[in-house]
Chain A
């Protein structure tokens, strides 16, 4: 199946911010893995909602409240369908970090209440990987500490792939939960979900998927992947800030107690106790990111219209161009150099030049990249460095921008007095 290639020039015309310049140079935005830019269609959808539909959702009987609630729930259906799910399986969150904390806290509560499916205690194991974003590490450190379970980590090979041999040895009868990123936010490699899910489910372990870097860049169907829970963020998906999705299998969401407690998630409340609504509303206490959800639905529709197969083909093409270009430069060390399926993302070290200085140099050329540890200190430590420079693409990224980036990277060592020639 070959989708028509993306018409990047036409796409770029939808993104007003791409017309900005930096100190007189046209902006080359290569930081979409941190946050993506928004097309007019998303900006307009959010503007339309706040201009004409804004009201509190799921409460109040007036017309505007009903219109707002409809818009909010229509958005849920659209975003759920975008990831292959039913609307009852999609919980709104304020982002993936909240989603992961929700899962960890609710499991801890369920375990304490003796719910067998979520039981965790001494002798049980929670398994994550060396490559995780801190948001998919710290909640599990917390859960292990609270329950007495042991936290284990799947190792990363030198070329950036997960060590599946080690995974087969680590994931076993003691494993109660496995969590990993679908696409690594530093390595950019698409991890083998099917193999890892099969290993975990063989031992009846739950699987949590951090899909922050996959849902924006490739076709993703959570039920087909057979993961038990998954999270993603709107702002990496052409959508607004402070909205995200939590997917869960229906029977698991139904069995899981709520995390945040408060308004809009109850049926009956007395002074002593409360009963809760079914999922997804049980997990949506308090004011929800309503206009953001409407904007995110517009983003999902925008990407649907482009066709996610075409989006992934574009990403794979740019990822290969980035990697090939960087491999050809002296004094560059790539993190995750494997020939594996990947998105348009490359993190690298410039020998002798700190990532912050690399980023500053690129900024002077109008090129926006991310520098630092990218919220993955353990992964950087595993490769013996503290920080890297990361370039990441999206639907609006052109070959010319990637080439401009590569030409600038080639000049970095020379600028800092290390000579642009052969590696020292």
Chain B
């Protein structure tokens, strides 16, 4: 696999074309929900993400945005992971921290598919330091939204 194909895996192209969790619900976030807008000023990529916490689980993660394959696929993979696993707020915070650590490792720490699901396909991004911010965009939005949702509880 050459450098480019290790970055743009088929799974990423699929997610960017058919994103999971795309589309924000109408109206303002309710109590117990958090919403965050993140912008990458370098390329103008934007993601707005909303999530809620019900009975100690993340319940409903939705997002909208536009940008490159990496940023859009990464947000979609996060939404997919949350939908499948319904993690607790602490578990999600830990996933985000581990994801960040792996992406900043310049390829030293791979993402485990058992833990990260489709998002494990983003391992290759960590070797492209200029693209780490793209992959983090949705996850940073989730981190911020989670902080708001749990503060509001």
Query: Could you give, for residues 347-378 of chain A, a 1 whenever the CB lies within 8 Å of some chain B CB and a 0 otherwise?
Result: 00000001111001100100000011100010
CB-CB nearest in chain B for A22? B3
Set of chain B residues within 8 Å of A357, measured between Cβ atoms:
8, 68-70
Separation of A416 and B17 alpha carbons in the complex (Å): 10
A368 to nearest B CB, angstroms?
A: 12
Is B32 interfacial (CB 8 A cutoff)?
no
Known A372-B42, A386-B44, A387-B43; contact A356-B70, beta-carbon cutoff 8 A: yes
Separation of A372 and B45 alpha carbons in the complex (Å): 10
Separation of A364 and B4 alpha carbons in the complex (Å): 6
Set of chain B residues within 8 Å of A263, measured between Cβ atoms:
none
Q: Is the CB of B4 within 8 A of A354?
A: no
Q: Is the CB of A354 within 8 A of B3?
A: no
Is A23 interfacial (CB 8 A cutoff)?
yes
Separation of A206 and B22 alpha carbons in the complex (Å): 51
Set of chain A residues within 8 Å of B45, measured between Cβ atoms:
354, 356, 386
Among B3, B17, B68, point to the contact of A364 (Cβ < 8 A).
Answer: B3
Set of chain A residues within 8 Å of B67, measured between Cβ atoms:
354, 356
B35 to nearest A CB, angstroms?
A: 21
What size tier do the contact residues of chain A reach? 10 to 19
Is A417 interfacial (CB 8 A cutoff)?
yes
Is B92 interfacial (CB 8 A cutoff)?
no
CB-CB nearest in chain B for A23? B3
Q: Is the CB of B134 within 8 A of A356?
A: yes
Among A354, A360, A380, A415, point to the contact of B128 (Cβ < 8 A).
Answer: A360
B27-54: which have CB < 8 Å to A?
42-45
Chain B count of residues within 8 A CB distance of the other chain = 19
Q: Is the CB of A356 within 8 A of B68?
A: yes
A272-296: which have CB < 8 Å to B?
none
Is B66 interfacial (CB 8 A cutoff)?
yes
Separation of A291 and B64 alpha carbons in the complex (Å): 50
Set of chain A residues within 8 Å of B8, measured between Cβ atoms:
357, 360, 415-416
Among B7, B42, B68, point to the contact of A354 (Cβ < 8 A).
Answer: B68
Known A361-B4, A364-B2, A386-B66; contact A356-B13, beta-carbon cutoff 8 A: no
Separation of A198 and B66 alpha carbons in the complex (Å): 43
Q: Is the CB of B13 within 8 A of A377?
A: no
A186 to nearest B CB, angstroms?
A: 14
Query: Could you give, for residues 111-153 of chain B, a 1 whenever the CB lies within 8 Å of some chain A CB and a 0 otherwise?
Result: 0000000000000000010010010000000000000000000
Q: Is the CB of B4 within 8 A of A372?
A: no
A194-240: which have CB < 8 Å to B?
none
- Report which residue of A355, A360, A361, A373 has the largest number of chain B beta carbons within 10 angstroms of its beta carbon: A360
A414 to nearest B CB, angstroms?
A: 12
Q: Is the CB of B44 within 8 A of A373?
A: yes
CB-CB nearest in chain B for A353? B69
Among A355, A361, A364, A416, point to the contact of B43 (Cβ < 8 A).
Answer: A355
Set of chain B residues within 8 Å of A417, measured between Cβ atoms:
13, 17
Set of chain B residues within 8 Å of A354, measured between Cβ atoms:
43, 45, 67-69
Set of chain A residues within 8 Å of B7, measured between Cβ atoms:
360
CB-CB nearest in chain B for A365? B4
Set of chain A residues within 8 Å of B128, measured between Cβ atoms:
360
B82 to nearest A CB, angstroms?
A: 24
Q: Is the CB of B44 within 8 A of A372?
A: yes
Set of chain B residues within 8 Å of A416, measured between Cβ atoms:
8, 13, 69
A180 to nearest B CB, angstroms?
A: 24
Among B3, B4, B17, B131, point to the contact of A356 (Cβ < 8 A).
Answer: B131
A400 to nearest B CB, angstroms?
A: 22
B80 to nearest A CB, angstroms?
A: 19
CB-CB nearest in chain B for A386? B44
A388 to nearest B CB, angstroms?
A: 10
CB-CB nearest in chain A for B67? A354
B43 to nearest A CB, angstroms?
A: 5
Query: Could you give, for residues 61-93 of chain B, a 1 whenever the CB lies within 8 Å of some chain A CB and a 0 otherwise?
Result: 000001111100000000000000000000000
B74 to nearest A CB, angstroms?
A: 13
A27 to nearest B CB, angstroms?
A: 15
A381 to nearest B CB, angstroms?
A: 10
B153 to nearest A CB, angstroms?
A: 35
Q: Is the CB of A387 within 8 A of B44?
A: yes
Among A23, A360, A361, A377, point to the contact of B44 (Cβ < 8 A).
Answer: A377
A377 to nearest B CB, angstroms?
A: 7
CB-CB nearest in chain B for A352? B17
A18-70: which have CB < 8 Å to B?
23
A66 to nearest B CB, angstroms?
A: 46
A124-167: which have CB < 8 Å to B?
none
A-B contact pairs, 19 of them (CB 8 A): A354-B69, A355-B43, A356-B67, A356-B70, A356-B131, A356-B134, A357-B8, A357-B68, A357-B69, A357-B70, A360-B4, A360-B8, A372-B42, A372-B43, A377-B44, A386-B45, A415-B8, A416-B13, A416-B69
A-B contacts besides A355-B43, A386-B45, 5 pairs, CB < 8 Å? A354-B68, A356-B43, A357-B68, A386-B44, A387-B43
Q: Which residues of B contact A (CB under 8 A)?
A: 2-4, 7-8, 13, 17, 42-45, 66-70, 128, 131, 134
